[in-house]
C-alpha cells in the first residue's frame, strides 16, 4: 500500500487531513534526499575513448545523451585520464599529470580548453547541467606520486602530501598514485579534493582500485566522509569488482554503487589461461553475480554489473582495438534485459555519436527501462526442471496491491537454440491459465496453461504475466 493510501485511511479514523498532508510531504522529501533512489543511468567514456576523451568528443556524446534524458539517461561521466597531457604515453613520466598547487588532479587545458585559467571543470559541468544532464568524473584512489615528490601543501590544513601518502601502497594496475593513509592528513587530502570537485559541480564520482584487489575500506570511508562535508548530492561509485559479499554492509553504508565483477567487455564468454584470471569478463558471468547480489539492491544501494559495451567501441577503447561491439543482437538484448530486471545501474559505454538503430531501439524501450526504475523483489528462480539446465529464469514485480504486475524473463545461456515448454507452475506462477504480453515488442500471448517459446542461442524473452 502506498503512503498516500495509508494516510487516507488513517485520516478517516483519527488523523487530521492537514497533518496527513504534511507527513506526505515529509515522506516525499525523504525520498528526494536519498542519493540514487533509482539505479543511475548514463554514459561513461571508457569503452569508446579509454584515456583519450577530450572536451569536444565529450560534448558530442553528451548532446546525444541529452536526447535520451526523458527516459532517465542522465549521467555523463569522464573516465580515467582527463588530467594527462599525453594519455597514450607508455610511462608515468611521459603522461604529464596536471596538478594544482595543492596536489589535486585538474584537467589539462590542451584537451579541455574550457578549463584554462584555473577554471577546472566548472565551465564544462555548467554546460552539462544546461543540457539537463549530470556531470561525473573517474579517479583512481590515492594521492599523485608527483604531489608527494614535491611535498605539496594540502589545502585548508597544516599538512603536506607526504603526511597523507602511504608510499608502500600502490594500485596494481595504475602507477600514478600512492595510497592515502588512514590519518588526519589523509582525510584532509580527500576533503580538499571533494571540496574542489564539488565546487565545479560534480554529481557522480567513480573511484577505482578501491572495491577489490585491493579492497580499501579506510579510503572508502574517507571519500564518503569528504563527499558528505561538501553538502552536495554526489553519487559514489566503487570499482572494480568483484566486491565481496562480506563487504556488502560496509559499501552500502558509504556508496551508492559498487562493482560486482571485474570489467565486462563485448563477449559472451572469454577464455583465460589461468583459473584465477577474471579479466575480461563475458556477459554470461553476470547471471551468477547478479543472483548473488539481488537481495542487496535497494534505493540508494545498487550492485553494479558494469557498463554496457554496445555499438561503436572507438576510436580508443579502454581495452582492445577499435571495433563495433562483438556482441550479437541477441546477446545485447539479453544483457540489457538482465541488467534491467536485476536493477543494475545502466551505464552506456559505446560511442553515442555513432549510435546504431538497433542499440537505440534497446535503450529507448520504456517497458524494459521501467523494470530497472521501478521493479521490486527481483530474483532468479532457484529450482527448475533438469531439462531446463541451459535456461535461467528471473521474476520481478511492478506496482503494489491491485495494480501489481508480475514480470517473467527467460534466458538461454546455451550456445544452441532452445525450445522452452513449461507449465506456469514450473515458472513460479499459480496453476491455471495465464496470458502474457512481451515487453520487448508488445505482442500478446493468449491465455494458456503452458508457456512455449523458441529462444536463439544466448537469447531471451520477457513478459508481463496476467
* 266 shares its domain with 306: yes
Q: In what order do the strands lie in the sheet with 134-140?
A: 302-304, 257-259, 235-238, 204-208, 134-140, 75-78, 41-44, 346-348
Query: Are both 136 and 229 inside the same structural domain?
Result: yes
Q: Does position 458 have pLDDT exceeding 70, yes or no?
A: yes
pLDDT of residue 56: 98
Q: What is the DSSP letter of 213?
A: S
Distance CA 232, CA 237 (A): 15
Tell which residue, 464, 436, 256, has the closest CA to residue 367: 464
Residues 24, 134, single domain; the answer is: no
pLDDT at position 323: 98
Same domain, 429 and 370: no
**pLDDT tier, 273 (very low <50, low <70, confident <90, very high otherwise):** confident
| pLDDT on residue 9 | 34
Mean pLDDT value of segment 290-306: 98
Of the residues 344, 375, 406, the one at which a domain ends:
375
Distance CA 121, CA 134 (A): 13
In which element (H, E) is residue 453 found? strand 450-455
My answer on whether 429 and 321 are in the same domain is no
Which of these three, 315, 349, 375, is where a domain ends? 375
Question: Largest Cα–Cα distance in the chain?
Answer: 74
356: left (phi over 0), alpha (psi -120 to 50) or beta: beta
User: Are residue 216 and residue 238 in the same domain, yes or no?
Assistant: yes
**Would the pLDDT of 182 be above 50?**
yes
CB contact burial 290-314 (16+ within 10 A = b; e otherwise): bbebbebbeeebbbbbbbbbbbbbb
Residue range of the domain that includes 16: 1-33
Same domain, 366 and 383: no
Q: Is the pLDDT of residue 404 over 70?
A: yes
Q: Is 132 in the same domain as 276?
A: yes
What percent of the chain is modeled with pLDDT above 90? 88
Structural domain count of the chain: 3
Instruction: Identify the CATH number of the domain in which residue 386 sits.
Output: 2.60.40.1180
Q: Mean pLDDT in the chain?
A: 93
Within this chain, do residues 332 and 452 fall inside the same structural domain, yes or no?
A: no
Do 404 and 277 share a structural domain? no
Q: Residues with Cβ < 8 Å from 104, sequence gap 6 or more? A: 147, 155, 192, 193, 196
Give how far the C-alpha of residue 141 lies from the chain's centroid of Cα atoms, to the nearest Å.
Answer: 18
Report the CATH number at residue 342: 3.20.20.70
Same domain (yes/no): 406, 363: no
Check residue 402 and give its pLDDT: 83
Question: Which residues lie closer than 8 Å to 62 by C-beta, 6 or more apart?
Answer: 43, 76, 128, 131, 133
Question: Could you tell me if 358 and 215 lie in one domain?
Answer: yes
pLDDT digits (tens, 9 = 90+) for 222-235: 999 999 999 999 99
Q: What is the mean pLDDT of residues 331-354?
A: 98
Residue 36 main-chain phi, psi, to 5 deg: 60, 60
Q: Which range is least confidently modeled, 23-37, 93-107, 129-143, 169-183?
A: 23-37
Contact (Cβ atoms closer than 8 angstroms) between residue 93 and residue 85: no
Distances (CA, A) of 172 to 200, 241, 250, 370, 441: 30, 14, 23, 39, 46
Q: How confident is the model at residue 385 (pLDDT cuts 50, 70, 90)?
A: confident
Amino acid at each position: 500500500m502506498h503512503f498516500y493510501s495509508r494516510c487516507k485511511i488513517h485520516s478517516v479514523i483519527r488523523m487530521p487531513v492537514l497533518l496527513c498532508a504534511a507527513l506526505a510531504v515529509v515522506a516525499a522529501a525523504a525520498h528526494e534526499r536519498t542519493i540514487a533512489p533509482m539505479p543511475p543511468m548514463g554514459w561513461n567514456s571508457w569503452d569508446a575513448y579509454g584515456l583519450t576523451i577530450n572536451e569536444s568528443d565529450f560534448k558530442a556524446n553528451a548532446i546525444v545523451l541529452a536526447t535520451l534524458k526523458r527516459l532517465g539517461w542522465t549521467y555523463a561521466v569522464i573516465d580515467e585520464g582527463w588530467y594527462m597531457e599525453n594519455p597514450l604515453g607508455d610511462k608515468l613520466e611521459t603522461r604529464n599529470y596536471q596538478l594544482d598547487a595543492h596536489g589535486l588532479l585538474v584537467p589539462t587545458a590542451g584537451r579541455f580548453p574550457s578549463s584554462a585559467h584555473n577554471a577546472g571543470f566548472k565551465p564544462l559541468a555548467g554546460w552539462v547541467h544546461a543540457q539537463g544532464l549530470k556531470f561525473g568524473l573517474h579517479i583512481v584512489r590515492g594521492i599523485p606520486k608527483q604531489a608527494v615528490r614535491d611535498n605539496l601543501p594540502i589545502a585548508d590544513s597544516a599538512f603536506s602530501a607526504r603526511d597523507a601518502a602511504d608510499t608502500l601502497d600502490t594500485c596494481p594496475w595504475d602507477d600514478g598514485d600512492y595510497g592515502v593513509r588512514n590519518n588526519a592528513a589523509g582525510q584532509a587530502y580527500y576533503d580538499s579534493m571533494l571540496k574542489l570537485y564539488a565546487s565545479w559541480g560534480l554529481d557522480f564520482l567513480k573511484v577505482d582500485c578501491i572495491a577489490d584487489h585491493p579492497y580499501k575500506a579506510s579510503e572508502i570511508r574517507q571519500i564518503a566522509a569528504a563527499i558528505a562535508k561538501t553538502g552536495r548530492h554526489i553519487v559514489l561509485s566503487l570499482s572494480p569488482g568483484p566486491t565481496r559479499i562480506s563487504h556488502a554492509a560496509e559499501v552500502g553504508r558509504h556508496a551508492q554503487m559498487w562493482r560486482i565483477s571485474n570489467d565486462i567487455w563485448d563477449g559472451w564468454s572469454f577464455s583465460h589461461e589461468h583459473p584465477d584470471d577474471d579479466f575480461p569478463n563475458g556477459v554470461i558471468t553476470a547471471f551468477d553475480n547478479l543472483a548473488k547480489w539481488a537481495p542487496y539492491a535497494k534505493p540508494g544501494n545498487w550492485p553494479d554489473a558494469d557498463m554496457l559495451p554496445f555499438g561503436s567501441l572507438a576510436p580508443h577503447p579502454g581495452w582492445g582495438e577499435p571495433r563495433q561491439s562483438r556482441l550479437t543482437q541477441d546477446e545485447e538484448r539479453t544483457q540489457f534485459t538482465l541488467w534491467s530486471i536485476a536493477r543494475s545501474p545502466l551505464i552506456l559505454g559505446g560511442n553515442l555519436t555513432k549510435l546504431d538503430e538497433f542499440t537505440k531501439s534497446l535503450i529507448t524501450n520504456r517497458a524494459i527501462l521501467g523494470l530497472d526504475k521501478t521493479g521490486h523483489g527481483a530474483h532468479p528462480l532457484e529450482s527448475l526442471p533438469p531439462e531446463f539446465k541451459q535456461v535461467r529464469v528471473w521474476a520481478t514485480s511492478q506496482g503494489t496491491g491491485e495494480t501489481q504486475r508480475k514480470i517473467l524473463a527467460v534466458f538461454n545461456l546455451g550456445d544452441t537454440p532452445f525450445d522452452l515448454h513449461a507449465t506456469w507452475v514450473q515458472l513460479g506462477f499459480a496453476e491455471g491459465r495465464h496470458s502474457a504480453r512481451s515487453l520487448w515488442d508488445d505482442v500478446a500471448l493468449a491465455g494458456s496453461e503452458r508457456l512455449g517459446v523458441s529462444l536463439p542461442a544466448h537469447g531471451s524473452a520477457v513478459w508481463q504475466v496476467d
